[in-house]
Structure 1
């Protein structure tokens, strides 16, 4: 399967008024800042939203975004398997912000949530360090924790997926509000 089409941040900004933007990050990440007008449909809810996304793609171009571009590429591939052509934002919201473009935050978003990539790095580093320390201080078998995380990181890189991110996405701090998929789909239909 071919890689999805990508738009650079400047081209996306120029065309923002004509694009339907779907942000596939967790509600917590979305609340931390998203492209203007973006609708939050978390990656794990894309299949349920497929008919409405297909309809939106029939009315105009759809841009799928995430923090770095990896999850949005996965979403674009999934959508392509179901006959929906989409594009992804090169570098994601990180590149958007780095290029000086504004990120919008929903009203009432009191605190910023760490991005998923940062959460994964913290968790992986903590477990590796814990495995090494316990392996030295308690029993060498604890070093298997570190080996397990290393194997998971290699698998993540090879498959371009991340099991740890999937687990972390379900934690309460990543879902400060329930993703109101029905309201989002209604907004998508209204475009």
Structure 2
């Protein structure tokens, strides 16, 4: 995978105020998106983007900026779109975390933990409980080893099976987000209701 083209928060802010702003696609879960997002961004979760890539890119004729929490999921989305032939794609450097750290406004909704924090909680809890339980049942130490191996694999491949599983939980679903509603929003982009508030 080649490194994605990036755009920093200041440059994106300036471009959003221009006559031809880029489309901002936020590839986080609907729950994360509801918590905080860049005004005017479209929520297109990474798994939905991968599954309906060809249908979605038909409606992405202008510049596209991909956003996630830190840039990792956006980089995966960038690879997906570039492999489909879309060249006018950038990744927000540092993601929504950098956007907020640089003082730019976000639209806020119900507060939820971001997906990466949930992964740390679940993985850490499983490791801690299996190590403690291995005092009574020594073979449980292998559960901790399996989680450690899974986290190592996730880091090396820039994927996270636990994160993908957690994203399916009702807590992370938030508002309904399906391919039809995403495409409808992209088609209605020139209407005030076409973008998220």
In structure 2, what is the equivalent of residue 52 of structure 1? 56
In structure 1, what is the equivalent of residue 13 of structure 2? 13
1:30 paired to 2:26: no
What TM-score, normalized by structure 1, do the two folds share? 0.91
Answer yes or no: is the 8 Å Cα contact 2:70–2:95 preserved in 1.
yes
Distance 2:160 2:142 in 1: 19
Answer yes or no: is the 8 Å Cα contact 2:59–2:183 preserved in 1.
no
Number of aligned residue pairs: 184
Distance 1:66 1:127 in 2: 26
In structure 2, what is the equivalent of residue 158 of structure 1? 156
1:71 paired to 2:73: yes
Distance 1:62 1:50 in 2: 15
Cα drift, residue 49 of structure 1: 4.5
In structure 1, what is the equivalent of residue 194 of structure 2? none
Structure ranking higher in helix proportion: 1
Moved over 6 A (4+): none
What TM-score, normalized by structure 2, do the two folds share? 0.89
Q: What is the CA deviation profile of residues 76-130 of structure 1, one whole-angstrom value per residue up to 9, with x for unaligned ones?
A: 001111101211101110111111111113xxx4x31100110011111100101
Distance 2:96 2:44 in 1: 15
Q: Which runs of 5+ in 1 are unaligned?
A: none
